C-alpha cells in the first residue's frame, strides 16, 4: 500500500512538473510572434520618471563632443528654440527676484477658478497664454495629486510589513517585532529629513534627461541643483560627468516649495521600505537599542545609492559615459529599494547568527510563525500598496503608461504565487501559506524595476521566475547557516537583484525614449525611437548596465552594512542575551507582551 502511494505521489510530481514547464514554455513562446524590429516607438515627450531627473538645458550634454561648425547658410536658417514659460524650465526671469521656492504653487501657471492673475475666466477676455497657464497648472496639479496618493499607498505598506513579519515570528516576540516595524518609520523619517534627502536628491535637477523634458511635479524641483561629483564643465555648477551625491536640502533648508515637498514625501516612504526589510531577517534576537541606531543610519547607504541611479549619478550616466544602454534603469526600485534592503538584511543576519534552536547537529529546524492568517492579510496589504509603489514612480498622473505598469505589477504578483505553489508541489511539499505569500511578494519585487518597460507576457515570466527563486533561495540560506525567519533576503535581496537583471533582458523599447539623456541615432533609425530595450529586443549593452548596477548595490550595500553592524555592536550589543532570547523579547526588551492572556495561561 505504501509503495502504491509513493508511486502515485511520484506520478503526480512528474505531471505537475511537466505542466509547469509547459506553461513557462507557452509564455516564453509568445515573444516569437512579435517582430523585434517593429516594436512600437516611444514618444520623446513622455513625462520624465524617477530615473530621469535633470534640466532641459546644456547640463545634460556637457560631456558630449562638440559638433562641427555649421555652414553660414544653415546658421541663417536655424530656427531658434521656442520660448516657454519659466514654470517649465525652472528659471527665474529676474534673478534678483527669484520665483522659487514657491510655497503655494501659485507660480506654476494659474488656477482656473478663481484665476490667480485677476483676469477672471471669461473666455472672451482671456488670451491664449492665459488659457495655457491654466492648462499647465492643471497638469502639475494632476501629477502632484497622483504622486501624493501613490505615496499614501506606499506608506500604508508599512502595515503590511508589520503584519507579515509579526505573523511569522513566535508569539513571545510579537510585540518586539511589530514595534520595530512601527518605529523604523519615525526614526528613518527623521534621518531622511536631516540628511538623507539632501544626499539622494540634492542634485536631482542636474542629471541627464531627454530633450524637451520638464519636471512633472513643478518648476520648484529646479532648486535641487547642488552636489558633489567628478568631471564636468566648471561653467555649469552642479553638473558632473560622474555624480556622487547631492548636497542641498539638509533639514529641507531653503526648500519651502510645493514641488520639493511632494518629492520629499514620496521618496521618504520608499526609503522606509528598505529600512524595514532587515527587521524581518534579524528579528527574534536583535537588541532594541541597536535597532534604533540602525534606523538612524539606514538613510546613508540607501540615499547614496539612490543618488547614483535616481539622482542623476554615475550609474544613471553609464549610458552617456560608457555607452551602456540608457545607463542603469530601475523604474520603481527592485535594486534601489529591495536589493539594498535585502543585502543589508543578509549581512545583519550573518552578523547576528541564527536563533537558538534553529540548528540541531548542523541541520536547520523549522520554527513556525504564530499567526498565518495575519501573514496572508499583510500580504494583501502589501500587494495593494504596490499599486502605488510602481505606477506612482512615473511621478506623473498624466503619463498614461501607468495602466501598463499596473497590469504588469498585478500579473507578476499572481505569477509569483502560482510558480511558488507549483515548485512546492513538484518538490513533494505541502503548499505552506506563508511560502505562497512570499512567492507573491517575490513576483512583485522582481517586476518593480522593469514594470514600465515590458510586455504582459514578460511580467508573467519575471514573476514566475521570482516565485521559483523564492523557494530555492529560502532552502539555500537555511543550508548555509543564514537564519532568516521571514524569508526577507530571498524575497527582497535575491529577487530585487533578479528584477534589475530582468529589465536588461525583457525591456521592449516601447517606453523611455531619451531615458537618462541617451538618444542613439542608429537606434532611432532602426526602431523609430530609442526607448529602453533589453537583450531580447536588440540592446545587449542595457543588460551590461543592469549587471553593473546589480553588482554595485550588492557590493556597496553589503560593505556598508558589514562596517555598520560591526561598529554599532561596539556601541550597543547587536544581539540580546541568551536568557532574554529564550524568554522572548517582549518583556525584556519592550516591557509589554504581545499576547498577555496567552502568557498568563488564560
Residue-level pLDDT at 78? 57
Judge whether 411 lies within some domain: yes
- Cis bond before residue 109 (omega within 30° of 0): no
Judge whether 424 lies within some domain: yes
Q: Enter the C-alpha cell of residue 129.
A: 497664454
Q: Enter the C-alpha cell of residue 61.
A: 550634454
| Nearest-angstrom CA–CA distance, 356 and 369 | 15
| Nearest-angstrom CA–CA distance, 549 and 555 | 10
Judge whether 455 lies within some domain: yes
Residue-level pLDDT at 167? 98
Judge whether 576 lies within some domain: yes
Judge whether 437 lies within some domain: yes
Return phi, psi of residue 229, to 5°: -165, -170
Residue-level pLDDT at 23? 52
Judge whether 558 lies within some domain: yes
Question: Do 488 and 280 touch, CB atoms closer than 8 A?
Answer: yes
8-46 per-residue burial string, b: 16 or more CB within 10 A, e: under 16: eeeeeeeebeeebeebbeebeeebeeeeeeebebbebeb
Nearest 5°: CA angle at 179, between 152 and 413? 50
Residue-level pLDDT at 39? 36
- Cis bond before residue 592 (omega within 30° of 0): no
Dihedral sign for Cα atoms in the order 172, 175, 181, 184: negative
Note the pTM of the prediction, 2 decimals: 0.85
Residue-level pLDDT at 117? 64
| Nearest-angstrom CA–CA distance, 511 and 513 | 6
Q: Which residue has cell 504588469? A: 408
Judge whether 342 lies within some domain: yes
Q: What CATH number should be reported for the domain holding residue 294?
A: 1.10.3430.10
Name the residue range of residue 569's domain: 151-580
CA 209, distance to chain mean position in Å, is: 19
CA distances (Å), origin 430, targets 15, 436, 476: 16, 11, 18
| Nearest-angstrom CA–CA distance, 479 and 357 | 15
Judge whether 391 lies within some domain: yes
| Nearest-angstrom CA–CA distance, 306 and 336 | 6
As a dihedral over the C-alpha atoms of residue 127, residue 130, residue 131, residue 133, rounded to 10 degrees, the angle is: 150
End-to-end CA distance of the chain: 45
Three-class SS of residue 441? Answer: helix
Q: Enter the C-alpha cell of residue 464.
A: 514566475
Block means of pLDDT (10 residues each) for the chain, 602 residues, are 52 52 48 39 39 38 39 51 77 80 79 63 79 91 98 98 98 98 98 98 94 91 96 83 97 96 98 98 98 98 98 96 98 98 98 97 95 98 98 96 98 98 97 98 98 98 98 97 98 98 98 96 95 97 98 98 98 98 97 84 39
In total, how many domains does the chain have?
Answer: 1
| Nearest-angstrom CA–CA distance, 428 and 440 | 20
Of 342, 364, 355, 440, residue with least CA distance to 169:
355
Amino acid at each position: 500500500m505504501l509503495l502504491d502511494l509513493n508511486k502515485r505521489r511520484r506520478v503526480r510530481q512528474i505531471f505537475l512538473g511537466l505542466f509547469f514547464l509547459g506553461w513557462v514554455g507557452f509564455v516564453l513562446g509568445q515573444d516569437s510572434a512579435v517582430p523585434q524590429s517593429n516594436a512600437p516607438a516611444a514618444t520623446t515627450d513622455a513625462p520624465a520618471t524617477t530615473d530621469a531627473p535633470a534640466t532641459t538645458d546644456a547640463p545634460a550634454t556637457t560631456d558630449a563632443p562638440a559638433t562641427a561648425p555649421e555652414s553660414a547658410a544653415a546658421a541663417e536658417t536655424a530656427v531658434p528654440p521656442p520660448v516657454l514659460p519659466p514654470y517649465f524650465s525652472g528659471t527665474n526671469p529676474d534673478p534678483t527676484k527669484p520665483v522659487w521656492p514657491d510655497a503655494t504653487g501659485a507660480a506654476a501657471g494659474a488656477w482656473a477658478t478663481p484665476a490667480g492673475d485677476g483676469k477672471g475666466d471669461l473666455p472672451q477676455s482671456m488670451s491664449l497664454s492665459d488659457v495655457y497657464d491654466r492648462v499647465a497648472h492643471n497638469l502639475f496639479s494632476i501629477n502632484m495629486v497622483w504622486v501624493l496618493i501613490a505615496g499614501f499607498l506606499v506608506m500604508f505598506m508599512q502595515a503590511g510589513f508589520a503584519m507579515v513579519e509579526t505573523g511569522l515570528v513566535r508569539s513571545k516576540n510579537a510585540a518586539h517585532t511589530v514595534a520595530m516595524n512601527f518605529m523604523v518609520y519615525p526614526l528613518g523619517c527623521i534621518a531622511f529629513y536631516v540628511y538623507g534627502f539632501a544626499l539622494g536628491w540634492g542634485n536631482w535637477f542636474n542629471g541627464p534627461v531627454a530633450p524637451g523634458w520638464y519636471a512633472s511635479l513643478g518648476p520648484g524641483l529646479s532648486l535641487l541643483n547642488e552636489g558633489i561629483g567628478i568631471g564636468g564643465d566648471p561653467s555649469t555648477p552642479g553638473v558632473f560627468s560622474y555624480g556622487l551625491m547631492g548636497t542641498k536640502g539638509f533639514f529641507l533648508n531653503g526648500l519651502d516649495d510645493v514641488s520639493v515637498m511632494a518629492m520629499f514625501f514620496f521618496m521618504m516612504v520608499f526609503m522606509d521600505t528598505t529600512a524595514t526589510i532587515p527587521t524581518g531577517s534579524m528579528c527574534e534576537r536583535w537588541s532594541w537599542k541597536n535597532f534604533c541606531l540602525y534606523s538612524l543610519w539606514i538613510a546613508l547607504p540607501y540615499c547614496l545609492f539612490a543618488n547614483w541611479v535616481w539622482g542623476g549619478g554615475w550609474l544613471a550616466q553609464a549610458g552617456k559615459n560608457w555607452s551602456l544602454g540608457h545607463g542603469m534603469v530601475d523604474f520603481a526600485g527592485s535594486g534601489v529599494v529591495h536589493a539594498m534592503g535585502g543585502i543589508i538584511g543578509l549581512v545583519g543576519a550573518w552578523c547576528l547568527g541564527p536563533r537558538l534552536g534553529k540548528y540541531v547537529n548542523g541541520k536547520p529546524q523549522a520554527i513556525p510563525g504564530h499567526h498565518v492568517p495575519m501573514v496572508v492579510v499583510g500580504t494583501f496589504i502589501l500587494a495593494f500598496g504596490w499599486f502605488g509603489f510602481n505606477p506612482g514612480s512615473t511621478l506623473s498622473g498624466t503619463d498614461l503608461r501607468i495602466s501598463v505598469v499596473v497590469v504588469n505589477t498585478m500579473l507578476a504578483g499572481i505569477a509569483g504565487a502560482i510558480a511558488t505553489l507549483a515548485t512546492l508541489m513538484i518538490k513533494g511539499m505541502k503548499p505552506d501559506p506563508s511560502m505562497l505569500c512570499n512567492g507573491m511578494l517575490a513576483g512583485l519585487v522582481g517586476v518593480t524595476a522593469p514594470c514600465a518597460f515590458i510586455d504582459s507576457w514578460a511580467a508573467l515570466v519575471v514573476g514566475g521566475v521570482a516565485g521559483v527563486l523564492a523557494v530555492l533561495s529560502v532552502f539555500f540560506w537555511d543550508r548555509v547557516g543564514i537564519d532568516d525567519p521571514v524569508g526577507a533576503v530571498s524575497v527582497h535581496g535575491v529577487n530585487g537583484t533578479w528584477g534589475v537583471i530582468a529589465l536588461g533582458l525583457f525591456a521592449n523599447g516601447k517606453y523611455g525614449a531619451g531615458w537618462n539623456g541617451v538618444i542613439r541615432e542608429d537606434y532611432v533609425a532602426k526602431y523609430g525611437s530609442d526607448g529602453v530595450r533589453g537583450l531580447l529586443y536588440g540592446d545587449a549593452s542595457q543588460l551590461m548596465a543592469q549587471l553593473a548596477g546589480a553588482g554595485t548595490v550588492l557590493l556597496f550595500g553589503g560593505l556598508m552594512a558589514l562596517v555598520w553592524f560591526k561598529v554599532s555592536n561596539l556601541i550597543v550589543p547587536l544581539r540580546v542575551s541568551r536568557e532574554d532570547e529564550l524568554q522572548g523579547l517582549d518583556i525584556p526588551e519592550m516591557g509589554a507582551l504581545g499576547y498577555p492572556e496567552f502568557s498568563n495561561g488564560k
